[in-house]
């Protein structure tokens, strides 16, 4: 991973020589306003990009991961602040695809049945109370999305959970489009378009309008057409969506719901999609999910009680058993408190998933689903330095997070802060 190799003794010497004074100088001179570069040492480094590293070290500089490897192989440059976590576990910050606690609570603005012009960006509250506790649960990135009160709730934003101004914490906007196809938005009160057929027609109709708009712009920008289309703010955010730069986070559940999602949003509309619930008997359609290589980031329900066999079935375990690999869990916070993302994985393992996959399912898999895997989700050189130090495997609820680093800054440390979770 890194070409630098030094002997263990040299490392010890280096560590011993490191004086706070020198470190401070380094920080102020080389990094300016930025934090000092860090060297984080841990008994086990779970990178989520290959095998875990025993007695590993992660170098952090400029908010990014500079190097990662065994302590015997990675040289810690002079001036790096060393955070020695002993035999604790170091892992990438957790990634949540389905969060409603990134700001003020009014998430279901039901202006129309589809609201592609709404955006949560207008109500983000960085590092709010809920997110502060989320940090203590190891969650460093959340996709903050509108609710499922209407068929299209608006566009969500991907945020870091740490402190800062909006621009500091914003990973991407538009993050995702929220579409709700099943359950909550259904009214079925006899009003036109309140059942599943009608809802899906309305979603399709809205997307067709958006697609035509984006095509017109694409044609203009590529020179195919010389006529400059009118700017329509209501449809403007469809551009990255139809250019497949951002996905749709779909509130879809059950066999029929997921089938409609795959057929309509994936096949017909050619969109990137994330199955944002996938619960109830949804796992029965696993074959179709696998064929399209679509991520299932399941939750907040973790199990289904099947009256046919009178048994509890783990949702994720059932997808896993049928061969779905792109899997993760979500909290749908505040349905499940945001800090309990890892506990959602705990329960998935309890019901038959696998612990290693479960760790991927709260880090790199949701990051890939959100199309932010170039920045977060694993410990790899060049990625954001979002690191979590835990007393052991984060999947075991007896263990807890002791330190959290976001973008290279220590944002939570139980040695200084009151323990929050």
Which residues of this protein are in contact with other proteins, per CB under 8 A?
Answer: 129, 133, 279-280, 300-305, 307-315, 317, 335-337, 340, 343-344, 346-355, 395-400, 418-421
Tell me the C-alpha distance between 199 and 169, whole Å: 35
Q: How far is the CB of 237 from other proteins (least distance, A)?
A: 32
Q: How far is the CB of 187 from other proteins (least distance, A)?
A: 14
Per-residue DSSP letter, 86: T
Q: Which is nearer to other proteins, 144 or 400 (CB)?
A: 400
Q: How far is the CB of 308 from other proteins (least distance, A)?
A: 5
Among 212, 114, 215, 127, smallest CA distance to 164 is for: 127
Q: Which is nearer to other proteins, 213 or 283 (CB)?
A: 283
Count, residues in the chain: 421
Q: Which is nearer to other proteins, 8 or 397 (CB)?
A: 397
Q: Which is nearer to other proteins, 304 or 368 (CB)?
A: 304
8 contacts: CB under 8 Å, gap ≥ 6: 71, 72
- 3-state SS of 363-406 is CHHHHHHCCCCCCCCCCCCCCECCEEEECCCCCCCCCCEEEEEE
Q: Which is nearer to other proteins, 8 or 334 (CB)?
A: 334
Q: Which is nearer to other proteins, 172 or 304 (CB)?
A: 304
Q: How far is the CB of 317 from other proteins (least distance, A)?
A: 7
* 3-state secondary structure (DSSP) of residue 358: helix
Tell me the C-alpha distance between 292 and 339, whole Å: 31
Q: How far is the CB of 346 from other proteins (least distance, A)?
A: 5
Tell me the C-alpha distance between 303 and 299, whole Å: 9
Q: How far is the CB of 103 from other proteins (least distance, A)?
A: 17
170 contacts: CB under 8 Å, gap ≥ 6: 124, 157, 158, 159, 160
């Amino acid at each position: 991973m890194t070409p630098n190799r030094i002997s263990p003794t040299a490392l010890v010497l280096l560590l011993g020589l490191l004086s706070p004074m020198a470190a401070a100088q380094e920080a102020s001179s080389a990094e300016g306003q930025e934090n000092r570069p860090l060297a984080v040492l841990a008994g086990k480094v779970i990178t989520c990009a290959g095998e875990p590293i025993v007695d590993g070290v992660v170098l952090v500089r400029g908010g990014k991961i500079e190097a990662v490897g065994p302590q015997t192989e990675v040289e810690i440059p002079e001036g790096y602040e060393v955070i020695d976590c002993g035999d604790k576990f170091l892992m990438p910050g957790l990634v949540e695809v389905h969060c409603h606690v990134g700001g003020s609570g009014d998430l279901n603005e039901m202006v129309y049945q589809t609201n592609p012009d709404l955006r949560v960006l207008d109500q983000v509250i960085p590092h709010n109370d809920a997110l502060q506790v989320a940090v203590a649960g190891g969650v460093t990135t959340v996709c903050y999305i509108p609710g499922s009160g209407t068929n299209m709730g608006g566009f969500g934003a991907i945020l870091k959970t740490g402190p800062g101004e909006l621009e500091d914490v914003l990973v991407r906007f538009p993050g995702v489009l929220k579409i709700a196809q099943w359950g909550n938005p259904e009214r079925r009160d006899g009003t036109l378009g309140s059942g599943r057929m009608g809802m899906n027609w309305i979603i399709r109709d809205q997307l067709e309008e958006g697609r035509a708009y984006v095509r017109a712009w694409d044609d203009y920008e590529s020179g195919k057409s010389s006529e400059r289309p009118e700017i329509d703010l209501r449809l403007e955010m469809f551009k990255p969506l139809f250019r497949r730069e951002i996905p749709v986070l779909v509130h879809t559940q059950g066999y029929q719901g997921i089938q409609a999602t795959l057929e309509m949003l994936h096949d017909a509309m050619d969109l990137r999609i994330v199955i944002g619930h996938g619960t109830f008997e949804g796992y029965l359609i696993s074959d179709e999910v696998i064929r399209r290589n679509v991520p299932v980031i399941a939750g907040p329900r973790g199990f289904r009680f099947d009256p046919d066999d009178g048994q509890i079935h783990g949702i994720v375990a059932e997808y896993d058993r049928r061969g779905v690999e792109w899997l993760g869990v979500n909290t749908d916070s505040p349905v499940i408190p945001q800090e309990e993302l890892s506990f959602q994985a705990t329960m998935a393992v309890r019901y038959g998933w696998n612990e290693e996959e479960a760790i991927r399912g709260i880090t790199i898999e949701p990051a890939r689903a959100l199309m932010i895997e170039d920045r977060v989700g694993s410990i790899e050189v060049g990625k954001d330095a979002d690191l979590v130090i835990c007393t052991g495997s984060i999947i075991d609820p007896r263990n807890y997070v002791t330190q959290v680093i976001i973008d290279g800054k220590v944002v939570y440390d139980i040695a200084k802060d009151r323990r929050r979770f």
